[in-house]
Each structure stands twice: as structure tokens, then as C-alpha cells.
Amino acid sequence: MNGLTDREREVLALVGRGMSNEEIARELVLSPATAKTHVSRAMVKLGVRDRAQLVVLAYETALVTPGWSRDG
């Protein structure tokens, strides 16, 4: 996690909450392509193969906590 930028950590937390690249882009006022780039770079830096592994990592590192709801 230390190798991630602040923005990559922020994006990782949103991935952990189940957001798509488009939703992340809207939330952070980015283009979807930029959101996708942040997700991809975080995946490479963390050595994970897919989004599911990013979600697991977000929970394991407490970026997202159980019980969080997208609806509120």
C-alpha cells in the first residue's frame, strides 16, 4: 500500500465499495479513462490480477469496512 499515490488509495477504496470506473469518475470528477488508469496502476503496484482481488485488499487494509452500504 505504501507504493500507491493518495489518488490510487482513494480509487481503491471506491473499488472496494463496488463502484465501476464510470461511478468512480463521477465521484472524483475524472474522466472514465483516468479512473480506469488509476485502477490499473493500483492493480500493477499491488500485484493483483483482477478487481475482485482489489476488493479483498480494500477490506484487508481497512479502506472499506464491513457493513458499508452503497445506498447510505
> In CATH, what is the architecture of 6-60?
Orthogonal Bundle (1.10)
Measured between alpha carbons, how far is 57 from 45 in angstroms, rounded to an integer?
A: 12
pTM for this predicted structure: 0.85
pLDDT, one tens digit for every residue, the chain (72 residues)? 779 999 999 999 999 999 999 999 999 999 999 999 999 999 999 999 999 999 999 899 888 887 755 555
- Look at residue 19 in the predicted model and tell me its pLDDT: 95
Residue ranges of domains in the chain: 6-60
Burial class (CB in 10 A: 0-12, 13-18, 19+), 31: exposed
- Look at residue 65 in the predicted model and tell me its pLDDT: 84
- Look at residue 69 in the predicted model and tell me its pLDDT: 59
